[in-house]
Amino acid sequence: MKILITGGLGYIGSHVTVLLIQNGYEVVCIDNLVNTSLSVLDGITSITNKKPYFEDIDVCDTKKLKELFNKHSDISGVIHFAAFKAVGESVNDPLKYYENNIGGLIKILKYTVDKSIPFIFSSSCTVYGEADELPITEEAPLKKANSPYGNTKKIGESIVEDCCAAFKDFNAILLRYFNPIGAHESSKIGESPQGIPQNIIPFLTQAVAGKQSHLKVFGSNYNTSDGTCIRDYIHIMDLAQAHIDSLNYLIEAKNSNSCEVYNVGTGNGVSVLELIKAFEKATGEKVPYELSEPRSGDTVAAYADPKKINKKIGWVAKHTLEEALQSAWNWEVSLNSDT
């Protein structure tokens, strides 16, 4: 079967591409290379010994998308990652996020709904906002988003749900995942954002490696065990596997509803300071950090109740926090050895 991955050279997309190839799928990968590079394609090829079909395409480019679907009329599934994802940047430049994240989703959906292609949407726990109860279940009410990024995911989910309701043969899964970290065990692909990292782990590893002076811990007086934000950190390979399992679930028509929603997380809440300590324990490296003012758009605490995906799709997170952090550090070390 042939699977289209948008944003396929991005952090999550590249790891999903690897697993798809290793599971016997043919992969068509598109990416506009705004927040990644072609070197990721080499990493994927090195791991799998197979080069996926790749085109430099922006999902907002209607002409190129049409040409792609004409060329690959036998696509059996779509996993949609292509979106900007930095909370802070979205607060400062909301129109960039709405134009790209919503516009790109609409354009890709025009082809998938017409052909009734199973669709996996990359959503986020940000749709819950500041949840009333922890851990967060899929039944938790969706709050007003704390950032334009979170709002694009919330709006995106509604668009997919509306398409499932309007097109009777169109089926989709919304995966609300929590905080992916780590890298492939080979250290040939990992999280490598362009410019200053917006996510905590690449910033942390760069601080340890001396590329950044220190890690800023945004907020230290929250109502948590140690005053810092709490998140559910999930190994990137566990998250990638959730996409494969969800795709197979849809293709095999095991879904009972045309649009189903699943949390993807470990169920464990970890504070920023606990994360730093776990990294130091796993790697033996010291993290230079300082406590800073809270950051606009941040949620205080969020961690998943993953029972639904455990039971219905059969996916379970298998990697430990320490394994994820060690793999992230190994990836950082490999980047430094290449320069």
CB neighbours of 325 closer than 8 A, spacing ≥ 6? Answer: 181, 182, 201, 275, 278, 279, 282, 283
Specify whether 233 is catalytic: no
Pairing of strands 119-124, 26-31: unpaired
Look up tokens 């097109």; give the residue.
Answer: 167
CB neighbours of 213 closer than 8 A, spacing ≥ 6? Answer: 207, 288
Look up tokens 């949609």; give the residue.
Answer: 80
The CA-atom distances, in angstroms, between 268 and each of 185, 204, 232, 297, 337 are 22, 20, 6, 22, 33
Find the DSSP H helices in the chain.
Answer: 11-22, 39-48, 62-71, 87-92, 94-97, 103-114, 148-166, 200-209, 236-251, 272-283, 307-312, 321-338
Integer Cα distance of 259 and 283 in angstroms? 41
What SS3 state is found at 262?
A: strand
Integer Cα distance of 180 and 126 in angstroms? 13
Residues 11, 25, 97, 149: which is the catalytic one?
A: 149
* Pair of tokens at residue 275: 């994360």
Is 99 within 8 Å of 34 (Cβ atoms)?
Answer: no
Instruction: Report phi then psi at 70, rounded to 5.
Output: -70, -40
* Pair of tokens at residue 84: 């900007």
What are the residue numbers of the active site? Answer: 149
